[in-house]
Amino acid sequence: MGKPTGFMEYKRELPQDRPPKERIADWGEFHLHMDEEKMRLQGARCMDCGVPFCHSGILLAGMASGCPINNLIPEWNDLVYRGLWREAIDRLHKTNNFPEFTGRVCPAPCEGSCVLGIHEPPVTIKHNECAIIDRAFQEGWVQPLQPPVRTGKKVAVVGSGPAGLACAAQLNKAGHTVTVFERADRIGGLLMYGIPNMKLDKKIVQRRVDLMKSEGVQFVVNADVGSAAFPAEKLKKDFDAVVLCCGATKARDLGIEGRGLQGIYPAMDFLRANTAALLDGKTSPIHAKGMDVVVIGGGDTGTDCVGTSVRHGCKSVLQLEILPKPSDKRPADNPWPQWPKIFRTDYGQEEAAEVFGADPRQFCITAKKFVGDAQGRIKEVHTVGVEWCKDDKGRFVPKEIAGTEKVLPADMVLLAMGFLGPDETLLNEMKVERDERSNAKAEHGKFTTNITGVFAAGDMRRGQSLVVWAINEGRAAARECDRHLMGQTLLP
C-alpha cells in the first residue's frame, strides 16, 4: 500500500466531461482523462482494506455488489499511485479481457461497495481502470499474443457481444481454434450497435476485434445461425463444441391501444440504425430531427435514446418512468455494500436539460394509449400517474391515480423497457431447453445445456444484465468448454 493515509488526504475527483453544448454537436466520446499526477492521487485514496468488498462480485438484494469479474482493484490502485502503469495493466488483464469497455460503460458496482464509500465518496475505480488500459494502448503495451500450442480442437462461438468475445479470447488462449459467428454486419454485438458512440467509440471496439484477429480468432459476419441460410446443425457437425452467447434481444413491448401506429420503435431499432448510419457515413432512417420525442423507460437504454435524440436535433424529449424517483441518499433498506439505489443524472438527461431547460424525466407515470393522425402516424401519448401499493400478496404494484391524466405531443415514441429473453429461433432449432424465463437452461458454473458439447453464457443464459456480468460468464463458459474438450483446464 503506497499511501496509507491517502484516503484522508485526498478528495474524490473525476475529470470534467466535455460541456453538453459542445458534445451534442458530434458523436465523439464525452469523458476525458486527468493528468497523471491527479490520477496517481486518486489511486492513493484506495484504503487497501483488510476485507475489500470492491472485488467480491456477489448479488445482494438482486443487484451486483462488487466486481463480477473479481478485478484485483486494490492492487492496481496501488500500482497507479506508484506510477507503475505497466504492472497495473498486467494485473488488470489477469481478470478482465476488455477493461476499455468496462472502464467506459460499466455502472461500477465496485464503487458501490467500496469500503471508503461508507463515510466518504468512494474511490474512482472505474476511471482508474479506464486510465490504465488507455495508457497501455497508448504506450504500445497491448500486443497480440498467440497461444504457444494449438490443440487441434475447433470451437464455434455464436454471438460477438461481450460474453462471446470474452469466451473466444479465453478459448483461443487455451489453444483452440475459435470461430465467432455474428448475424450483424459488424462484430461487437451490443458493444457495437447497442451502446451509442458517445459512450463507447466504435474505434475502441474495432481495435480489440482486430487484436483478437491477430491472435488467431476468426470472425464471420452476416451469419444468422439458426436460419434457413445457416442451419445450426452445421455448427455441431463442423465443430467440437459450440458456445451460445447470443444475448437477450427480445425487447419488452407495450401492448396498449395504438401500438401499431407509425413512429413507435423499440429503442434498439433506433439506436442500431443510428450507429449503423454513423459508421456508414449516412443519415439514420429513424431520425428525430424537429420531432417531439417520448422515451418510455428510465434505464440506461432510455438515457441513450435521450442523448441520441438531442444530437439529432429533436424539438423536445420526455422520458417516462413508471417507478418512483429514487432518493438522494441511500434509504434505510438499501445499506452498504448493496448497490446504492439513489437518484443519478446521466449524460442524456444533462444534455436535455441544457437544451430544453429541464430534466426530461417524469416519474410514477405510465402510458395508457397512443393516438395517431389521419395518416396513421403517432401524434399523442395519453398518460396517467401511478402510485405503488401492496396487493393482497404483499407485492408492490402500480395503481392509477384518478385526475392525473395527461396528453403528451409525440412525433416519435421509443420503447426502452428492457428485454424479455433471447431470440427463440436458434434455441428451437438446436432443441436447447429453456428455463422459466425463456433463457437457455444452463447451470451457472457449468454452463452446459441439455445438448452435449453445447454451452450457453451471458444474457442468453442469465437474462438482461451488465456488460461485466457478460464478461464473467463468457470467461467461465470458456473454462468449462475447455474442460469438456481436454478433460482438464488451466483457464481461470
CATH of the domain at 101: 1.10.1060.10
Q: Are 390 and 480 members of one domain? A: no
Domain that holds residue 36: 6-139
- Is residue 54 in some structural domain? yes
Task: Choose one of 417, 437, 460: the last residue of a domain.
Answer: 417
Q: Are 355 and 269 members of one domain? A: yes
Q: Are 309 and 402 members of one domain? A: yes
Task: Choose one of 358, 387, 417: the last residue of a domain.
Answer: 417
pLDDT digits (tens, 9 = 90+) for 210-253: 999 999 999 999 999 999 889 999 998 999 999 999 999 999 99
Q: What is the largest CA-CA distance in the chain?
A: 71
Q: Are 281 and 197 members of one domain? A: no
- Is residue 289 in some structural domain? yes
Q: Is residue 62 scored above 90 in pLDDT?
A: no
Q: Which of 412, 83, 444, 74 is nearest to 270 (CA)?
A: 412
pLDDT, residue 459, reads: 97
- Is residue 144 in some structural domain? no
d(CA 244, CA 450): 13
pLDDT, residue 3, reads: 87
C-alpha cell at 125: 475505480
Give the three-state DSSP class for 330: coil
The cell 392525473 sits on which residue?
404
pLDDT, residue 256, reads: 98
Q: Are 318 and 399 members of one domain? A: yes
- Is residue 491 in some structural domain? no
Q: Which of 437, 400, 396, 433 is nearest to 419 (CA)?
A: 437
| Spatial contact of 296 and 286, defined as CB atoms under 8 Å apart | no
- Is residue 237 in some structural domain? yes
pLDDT, residue 63, reads: 87
Q: Are 460 and 396 members of one domain? A: no
pLDDT grade for 460, boundaries at 50, 70 and 90: very high
Task: Choose one of 116, 139, 162: the last residue of a domain.
Answer: 139
Specify the length of the chain in residues: 492
For 383, what's the count of Cα atoms within 13 Å in the CB-facing half-sphere?
A: 24
Q: Are 123 and 11 members of one domain? A: yes
- Is residue 146 in some structural domain? no
Q: Are 362 and 428 members of one domain? A: no
Q: Is residue 393 scored above 90 in pLDDT?
A: no
Q: Are 268 and 394 members of one domain? A: yes
Element counts in the chain: helices (H) and strands (E): 18, 18
- Is residue 320 in some structural domain? yes
Q: Is residue 1 scored above 70 in pLDDT?
A: no
C-alpha cell at 281: 457515413
- Is residue 385 in some structural domain? yes
Number of separate domains in the chain? 3
The cell 428510465 sits on which residue?
298
Q: Give CA angle at 233 (227, 238), nearest 5°.
A: 120
Mean pLDDT for 31-37 is: 93
Alpha helices of 35-161 — where are they, by DSSP H? Answer: 36-44, 73-81, 85-93, 99-105, 109-112, 125-139
Average pLDDT, the chain: 96
What Rg value do the Cα atoms of the chain yield, rounded? Answer: 23
Mean pLDDT for 360-376 is: 98
Mean pLDDT for 92-102 is: 98
Q: Are 225 and 165 members of one domain? A: yes
Mean pLDDT for 279-293 is: 97
Q: What is the CATH number of the domain that holds 234?
A: 3.50.50.60
Q: Are 380 and 241 members of one domain? A: no
pLDDT, residue 394, reads: 87
Q: Is residue 482 scored above 80 in pLDDT?
A: yes
Q: Is residue 317 scored above 70 in pLDDT?
A: yes
Q: Are 221 and 268 members of one domain? A: no
